[in-house]
């Protein structure tokens, strides 16, 4: 009987964003830093099967079209690297909405890579695993290591754990707003920005600068400084996205409502800072002690469908089969 393995990974939200990639190894154009979030998880079960094709089930439904192709293409990378041989059945469950900018690909590909590594006879190191996760989704590399993690730009980078989850005194509240599934994948969006956005080059320079300042601010655990850099970095990435042709306008009215609310809360003395990925939802960084207060305020914003409070999440792990 074939062996079934199961892995769990937390999604992460970047405080310094990665937007832009190049080459066959999907080399990131910008270095990034993220926090893994404990309430946003993907659990993936994988087993080798005796079949002509891979089988992919996502959130209880057989995946078709692009969704399936993306997973199969990823399995092909593992087969080409001779880490697995034959067809695989994948079953993946998310605890949160997918393809809407809620970082689902970060936890999805981190959980998948972790499960595949357990199925493989080869068993690669965590560093190599982050590189392979990156080829499914750039942000997935950072979900392998969890906590506060970084992923540099440059040739074939690995993610690096900066601070383990247990030592991070901050969390994030995610404000979910109504949205349609994304029109372009991150991969397509990044390509479009690089080819058409008049701000792309400027964004790449700014992001590298933000990264250095963020590392410095993190050393002093300066929430105000980290939060301000995170907001500015997110705004700069969205300026580049907005100027892409056709525009990548991920923000909905609800996104703007939350961002304005966060600034107002700050003016009242609450240390809270927003950041937005390639989607409409907003993640708000705050001290763990303020998570309840921020969640309460987030729930009171009229356009917020759901507020999800998160403490820092750990690394991707194998979980026992029931």
Which segments of the chain are extended strands (E)? 4-16, 21-22, 27-28, 32-49, 55-58, 61-62, 87-94, 148-151, 159-163, 170-177, 272-275, 282-287, 304-310, 317-318
At 300, give phi and psi (nearest 5°).
Answer: -85, -10
Distance CA 213, CA 187 (A): 27
DSSP 30: S
Structure token digits, residue 3: 């062996």
Q: Should residue 10 be labelled a site residue for ligand PMV when binding is judged by CB under 6 A?
A: no
Q: Should residue 197 be labelled a site residue for ligand PMV when binding is judged by CB under 6 A?
A: no
Q: Should residue 193 be labelled a site residue for ligand PMV when binding is judged by CB under 6 A?
A: no
Q: Should residue 217 be labelled a site residue for ligand PMV when binding is judged by CB under 6 A?
A: no
Q: Should residue 211 be labelled a site residue for ligand PMV when binding is judged by CB under 6 A?
A: no
Please give the size of the binding site for ligand PMV, defined by CB under 6 A. Answer: 14
Q: Should residue 250 be labelled a site residue for ligand PMV when binding is judged by CB under 6 A?
A: no
Q: Should residue 186 be labelled a site residue for ligand PMV when binding is judged by CB under 6 A?
A: yes
User: Do 304 and 276 form a contact (C-beta atoms < 8 A)?
Assistant: no
Q: What binding mask, one character per residue, do residues 30-69 give for ligand PMV by CB under 6 A, x or -? A: --x-------------------------------------
**Exposed e or buried b per residue across 272-284, where buried means at least 16 C-beta atoms within 10 angstroms of its C-beta:** bbbbbbbbbbbbb
The number of residues making up the chain comes to 322
170 vs 250, which CB is nearer to ligand PMV?
250
By CB under 6 A, name the one of 42, 44, 45, 105 that touches ligand PMV.
105
Distance CA 100, CA 262 (A): 21
Distance CA 68, CA 275 (A): 29
Least Å distance between CB 87 and ligand PMV?
Answer: 25
By CB under 6 A, name the one of 5, 7, 9, 14 that touches ligand PMV.
14
By CB under 6 A, name the one of 6, 8, 10, 17 that touches ligand PMV.
17
5 vs 204, which CB is nearer to ligand PMV?
204
By CB under 6 A, name the one of 92, 106, 150, 275 that touches ligand PMV.
106
Distance CA 75, CA 93 (A): 18
5 vs 162, which CB is nearer to ligand PMV?
162
Interface with ligand PMV by CB under 6 A: which residues? 14, 17-19, 32, 103, 105-106, 137-139, 186, 277-278
């Amino acid at each position: 009987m074939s062996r079934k393995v199961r892995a769990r990974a937390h999604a992460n939200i970047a405080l310094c964003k990665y937007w832009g990639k190049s080459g066959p190894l999907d080399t990131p154009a910008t270095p990034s830093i993220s926090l893994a979030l404990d309430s946003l998880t993907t659990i993936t079960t994988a087993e080798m099967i005796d079949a002509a094709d891979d089988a992919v089930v996502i959130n209880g439904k057989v995946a078709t079209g692009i969704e399936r192709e993306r997973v199969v293409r990823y399995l092909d990378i593992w087969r080409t690297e001779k880490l697995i041989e034959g067809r695989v059945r994948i079953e993946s469950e998310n605890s949160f909405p997918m393809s809407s900018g809620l970082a689902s690909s970060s936890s999805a590909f981190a959980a998948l890579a972790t499960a595949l590594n357990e199925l493989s006879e080869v068993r690669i190191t965590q560093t190599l695993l982050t590189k392979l996760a990156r080829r499914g989704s750039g942000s997935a590399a950072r979900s392998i290591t969890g906590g506060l993690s970084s992923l540099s730009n440059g040739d074939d980078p690995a993610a690096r754990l900066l601070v383990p989850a247990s030592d991070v005194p901050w969390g994030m509240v995610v404000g979910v707003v109504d949205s349609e599934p994304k029109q372009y994948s991150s991969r397509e969006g990044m390509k479009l920005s690089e080819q058409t956005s008049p701000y792309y080059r400027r964004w790449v320079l700014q992001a590298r600068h933000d990264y250095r300042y963020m590392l410095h601010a993190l050393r002093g655990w300066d929430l105000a400084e980290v939060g301000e850099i995170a907001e500015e970095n997110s705004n700069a990435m969205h300026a580049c996205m907005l100027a892409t042709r056709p525009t990548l306008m991920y923000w909905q009215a609800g996104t703007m409502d939350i961002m304005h609310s966060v600034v107002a809360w700050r003016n009242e003395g609450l240390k809270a800072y927003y950041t937005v990925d390639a989607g409409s939802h907003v993640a708000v960084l705050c001290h763990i002690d303020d998570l309840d207060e921020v969640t309460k305020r987030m729930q009171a914003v009229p356009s917020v469908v759901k507020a999800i409070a998160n403490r820092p999440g750990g690394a991707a792990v194998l979980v026992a089969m029931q």
